[in-house]
A and B are shown apart, each in its own frame.
Chain A
């Protein structure tokens, strides 16, 4: 009898538990999206959409839920109510791509402008400080329209410029139609809102749920400035790169015109610029110039460039003598590049070189300055264990390159099987889909190295997993929403670090794998940056 009662009770429970099923589609279309992870908030359950975009949760108890998908960092939630007498319904989750900024550029005659260079700038955090940084650029099409896409929700400055130089930089190797008129000096770069630099301009706020559309930027004839000067020694020929504050100094042939003896850049708007010259044998330092009037007589001294040679090697499981870990057949490490990133707060410069099959590399044309060294892209579970330059440790301090003979750069990569996984919940205990989970090194020196911050995004059920953790001590933080990489501020703001980590759990890799339950810092405490 008792057994029968229990059996009857069990059968009743099964009848009460329902099935939730649905399909994930691209927003505004019927196009299914396969492979998306769907969460059942506030539980931590997740399922994966099949090749037709379909998903199914079985044995769902009656209650209020939200079907959740995180796509391109954007969280979509569809509230559902499950009752006892649930009719089998199919829910459709429409998933949006990351937001975009969309607009049109006009010339002083009111005509739409093709081939204008559009840039989106955002406050960027690096372990070296905060600066305005160009995050995406495109050229307008024949309709004068532009679309800056896959943006993170944030505030942006949007600039438009039209000149031969801007067009070459924006084209990034594309071949523009020969029926597009040469802009020559064109029109100076202007920001949305009408200013010539970010501080005079209007920001564009991009939210998670919608594009910022309908921007109109009106180019206008305005004072244009020139920067001219001499390359030293006299008569030398070199490519000269020019970048406005926040920009990237690029020395490829498309972005950096070649000059012999003297150089001249014209059609520039008011602002601060960085200049850099190289001809593969000689290279300059970064020279900074401000234009409030034509700038003449700038001297760019060039000195012999340094070629940094060295080798990346694997240790531990990556150092099997009979195989070459960097050969193309070993997809784990093939295709990596060694990158030198100039440590400067106002301008970016990156010099990179591919690794040969034996891990060796040669980075030519390196000028004087301080650089951070990295290997990119680092595959899953691989980390940089040591970096030495001229037999000195260069893992946590920048490499200083002078004009004398270069030392050897050696990089060791290792594999880590250490994993940290867990779930992110809010203060009420419900899962937080799409939360950003960050392992922040406790050691101050380690915090100035970007690849020591291990970051992942919780899935639709609030679950996260970080693998390949280098041995060290960490603080683990979860943010419901955080401005792009704002946690890098912990590298230079000790007060901020203390404030956010005082109650945060620790992770020591001296032990084994960890399972964590993290309480997310709510968006209300981090919108607009950490403070």
Chain B
């Protein structure tokens, strides 16, 4: 076992009388009793600074000893297998922390790991010749933090000179495979290859997903890039303060990829030629959806845009203007609670853009008097969330400039937010509580099940009423601080993150859920039947 010297120092500083604990267990191949050797088991003390790594032996055994008390996250990874987090949650879903008491010994934790699948193939150019340096991505459909369907890149690779690629060790499921060619030289832009989706379409709507199962390889996922006339995106970046052209860094990026490889960047200038109104230009943009951002110092502007690649857009370009500004300060106050300097010092208020691909300001702390300031909110439509409230507290109402905005987004724009307009967040400590147990088909409590609480009726539009957790090693779960109202509880063997936020998805499973009503301060119990993976 390799030990981190900082953790050893922490142990020494605690003194000789402090009892230390143990976390140990086994890693087995799924659906067998076969141990998996050389698995990296990693415990991280909350705060993420201290880490210990233990590799499983020939019996698949790992152990961490002499651990000080604290909250730990335990993860296991092994090349070729799907990672897991305690208590046995796979595929990137959030697990449960281990709150280790002084001297506590948590033994016989068992992880069962599955082999991860792979997608491989060849990318061809429009003449059916293999093409190198193409970035191939495995895009997974998922749900963003608002439950909207989204595509996220799970893994990407570059083709070699034979056009071959391998997207290895994916999570099982369905993927769209995209291929983005290297940028052409300036004199070849008119004939440029553009992004394509398996089995060879330029538009994602026409693409066919590739399904990969545990431990299998989907081979022969070959397709050709298409030739489409790319578009020049150009426009004027204007400073809100001066009303003049502004110098800024202008970036065009794909919403799926964030800060990955699909970025195009240029600079806008202060004095464009008198013959043109645009002061920035990005050539050779393939059709698709993008986020366009301009940044200059503390000023910025962002917007989502769609490049169609048709008609006049190809010949004349797509004109998109941006107005740079510092953002709008949004002031507010939290009522109903008081100890923001003590118990509630970690409470944060977030003002979040409802388009999750657009930037949002970071969450802000609440001052001792309950006030808060979100300094630089860019124009857009926003919702409010509060994190780290006391366990039984919930947000009763939110209003902004006298209008209730808890269920609907509120707009923020230059010149529309007055100095006296305040975000008022009313908090109540009278939240409900649900505790329960999840059972599988054999009536055995199920560890690591995902349990979701989905509102119905008046609270359906409130994102903060949607809750998700994971069952503990004894199969139990708890929700606290529940907003009073009607709900439906489901328990899942496996669930795509944030899927429970999507109304269309949940409609298919409504009848498999358990309805219940929560009154203020009420505690309810529930026994749930697991919805198995096959469903």
Binding site for B on A (CB under 8 A): 26, 31, 33-34, 51, 97-98, 100, 109, 111, 114, 138, 141-143, 147, 149-150, 172-182, 184, 253, 322-324, 327-329, 331-336, 353-354, 356-358, 360-362, 377, 379-380
Contact = CB atoms under 8 A, between A and B. Distances in A.
- Most chain B CB within 10 A, of A172, A182, A356, is at A356
B171 interface: yes
Contacts of A184: 53
Contact of A178 (B83, B167, B232): B83
Contact of B154 (A31, A178, A322): A178
Given A100-B161, A177-B169, A356 B280 contact: yes
Nearest to B157: A174
Contacts of B77: 179-182
B310 to A, nearest CB: 19
20 contacts: A26-B129, A31-B128, A97-B161, A141-B168, A147-B161, A174-B135, A175-B257, A177-B167, A178-B92, A178-B154, A179-B77, A182-B40, A182-B77, A329-B232, A335-B185, A353-B267, A356-B279, A358-B273, A360-B271, A377-B185
Contacts of A323: 275
A494 to B, nearest CB: 36
Interface string B162-205: 10001111110000000000000111011000000000000000
Contact of B272 (A329, A332, A357): A357
B61 interface: no
A96 to B, nearest CB: 10
B336 interface: no
B146 to A, nearest CB: 23
Nearest to A380: B187
Give the top 7 A-B pairs by smallest Cβ distance, nearest first: A142-B168, A328-B283, A149-B161, A335-B186, A179-B169, A356-B269, A177-B155
A189 B271 CA distance: 49
Contact of A177 (B53, B168, B268): B168
B162 to A, nearest CB: 8
A328 B168 contact: no
A33 B127 CA distance: 9
Nearest to A353: B267
Interface residues of B, number: 65
B112 interface: no
B38 A109 contact: yes
Contacts of B276: 324, 327, 357
A356 B129 contact: no
B160 interface: yes
A358 B281 CA distance: 10
Contacts of B153: 175
Contacts of B190: 331
Contacts of B275: 322-324
Contacts of B525: none
Given A33-B129, A322-B275, A332 B161 contact: no
A358 B189 CA distance: 20
B330 interface: no
A414 B171 CA distance: 54
B132 interface: yes
A331 B281 contact: no
B166 A179 contact: no
B14 interface: no
A21 B83 CA distance: 58
Interface string B233-273: 01000000000000100000000010111000111110111
A51 to B, nearest CB: 8
A170 B416 CA distance: 48
Interface string B114-140: 001010000000011100100101000
Contacts of B353: none
B269 A357 contact: yes
Interface of B: 38, 40, 42, 53, 77-83, 92, 116, 118, 127-129, 132, 135, 137, 153-158, 160-162, 166-171, 185-187, 189-190, 232, 234, 247, 257, 259-261, 265-269, 271-273, 275-276, 278-284, 317
Nearest to B137: A175
A361 B267 contact: yes
Given A353-B267, A362-B247, A150 B132 contact: yes
B118 A142 contact: yes
Nearest to B39: A181
Contact of B160 (A149, A328, A377): A149
A336 B186 contact: yes
Contacts of A142: 79-80, 118, 166, 168-169
Contact of A179 (B81, B158, B272): B81
Contacts of B271: 358, 360
A332 B186 contact: yes
A354 B265 contact: yes
Contacts of A109: 38
Contact of A360 (B129, B234, B265, B269): B269
Nearest to A179: B169
B520 to A, nearest CB: 41
Contacts of B158: 138, 174
Contacts of A34: 127
Nearest to B264: A354
Given A174-B157, A181-B40, A362 B260 contact: no
A137 B266 CA distance: 27
Nearest to A364: B249
B187 A332 contact: yes
Given A147-B162, A327-B273, 14 more contacts: A98-B161, A142-B79, A142-B169, A177-B116, A177-B169, A178-B171, A179-B79, A184-B53, A323-B275, A328-B234, A329-B232, A335-B189, A353-B267, A356-B279
A354 B260 contact: no
Given A149-B161, A175-B156, A357 B185 contact: no
B54 to A, nearest CB: 13
B82 A328 contact: no
A179 B232 CA distance: 38
Nearest to B38: A109
Nearest to B283: A328
A149 B161 CA distance: 6
Contacts of A178: 83, 92, 154, 171
B132 A328 contact: no
Q: Which of A97, A328, A380 has the most CB of B within 10 A?
A: A328
Nearest to B185: A377
Contacts of B160: 100, 138, 147, 149
Contacts of A324: 273, 275-276
A350 B160 CA distance: 25
A146 B94 CA distance: 34
Contact of B161 (A150, A182, A322, A335): A150
Contact of B155 (A51, A147, A176, A322): A176
A92 B475 CA distance: 69
A178 B268 CA distance: 37
A384 to B, nearest CB: 16
Given A356-B267, A356-B280, A175 B169 contact: no
A177 B170 contact: yes
A150 B156 CA distance: 21
Given A174-B261, A324-B276, A360-B269, A331 B79 contact: no
A427 B283 CA distance: 48
Nearest to B40: A181
Contacts of B282: 328
A356 B268 contact: yes
B118 A358 contact: no
Contact of A327 (B127, B132, B267, B281): B281
Contact of B279 (A51, A100, A335, A357): A357
Identify the interface centre among A111, A172, A174, A353: most chain B CB within 10 Å of its CB. A174
A31 B129 contact: yes
Contacts of B166: 141-143
A109 B38 CA distance: 10
A174 B189 CA distance: 24
Given A173-B261, A179-B171, A354-B266, A331 B78 contact: no
Nearest to B81: A179
